[in-house]
Amino acid sequence: MSVAHVVAAAHGSLVASIPSPSQGVWHLGFVPIRAYAFAILAGIVVAVLVCRARWVERGGNADDVLEIALWAVPFGIVGGRLYHVITTPEPYWGKDGNPAKALYIWDGGLGIWGAIALGAVGAWIGCRRLKVSYPAFADALAPGLLFAQAIGRLGNYFNQELFGRPTDVPWGLEIDPAHRPLGYEQYATFQPTFLYELLWNTAGGLFLIWLDRRFKLGHGRVFWLYVMIYTTGRVWIEALRIDDAEHILGLRLNIWTSILVWVGALVAFIVVGRRHQGREKTVELAAKEPEHTDAA
């Protein structure tokens, strides 16, 4: 056997793929245990723990985080589902659609834009009730949000959904025939977009923590950096996906949304940086002092 044959055989033995889970739901008696729900819950727990540690570093009360989360999480889930249903209406309101499935959150489908928007409203309510700085809380939460989103993508992995175009790279994701979109039935492996976003968001969260400690950022600037990091990744990852989506001028709606939000976040970061240097001296608000709205 020639050297070329040996090299080819060795290369072939290294080529592999990522297998998809055989199931995403287990039953404990009559109670379904869903991997997607566990991924969302695990992400929330991690975000709360990271935020709690960072909030205390900023001089906040650790108990504040859980109380604010009790407002932000339900608002975020409702907002995420609303965004998904509105921007992906076909499974619910289109031909052969089932409107009742709009309530089936456990089957997947939470739009990050709606989750962040309404979740921010919930967090604002919590901060106002506790009389603490909303921008400071957003800064404390930002890295944890990226970690939560990274963990949440494991739910897509178990559901075998939101993967990318067909590929033959060694890390291609195996998709069962039942989960392959129309027109792609002949392909076995696809781009593992869940993995790309998991790695991107994890690295982004760690980068944010380093930046914040290095430059003592405050007044909402960490949050705006979070938005820019997430949307940058979302643009190129979204471009790989082949699931049904609304398109505008040939691009998926979420790509346009990411671009517009990125620009808005950049403007907000610059404006806040010019108005406020460094970090807040305290996260507590005076009883009658109105809070500025730089991170609103």
| Mean pLDDT in order along the chain per 10 residues (296 residues) | 40 68 88 89 96 96 96 93 82 79 74 90 97 97 97 95 95 96 95 98 98 96 98 97 91 95 98 93 71 51
Backbone φ, ψ for residue 131 (5° rounding): 60, 50
Q: Under a CB-based contact definition with an 8 Å cutoff, are residues 44 and 30 in contact?
A: no
CA distance 202 to 230: 10
Predicted local confidence at residue 105, as pLDDT: 73
Predicted local confidence at residue 167, as pLDDT: 97
- Cα–Cα distances in angstroms (integers) from residue 178 to residues 83, 160, 173, 174, 191, in the given order: 26, 10, 14, 12, 17
Percent helix, strand, coil in the chain, to 5, is: 60, 5, 30
Predicted local confidence at residue 238, as pLDDT: 96
Predicted local confidence at residue 3, as pLDDT: 39
CA distance 227 to 119: 14
| pTM as predicted | 0.86
Q: Which of 1-37 are b and which e, b meaning 16 or more Cβ less than 10 Å from the residue's Cβ?
A: eeeeeeeeeeeeeeeebeebeeebeeeeeeeeebbbb
Annotated binding-site positions = 153
Predicted local confidence at residue 9, as pLDDT: 40
CA distance 139 to 209: 10
Predicted local confidence at residue 271, as pLDDT: 97
Q: Under a CB-based contact definition with an 8 Å cutoff, are residues 149 and 197 in contact?
A: yes
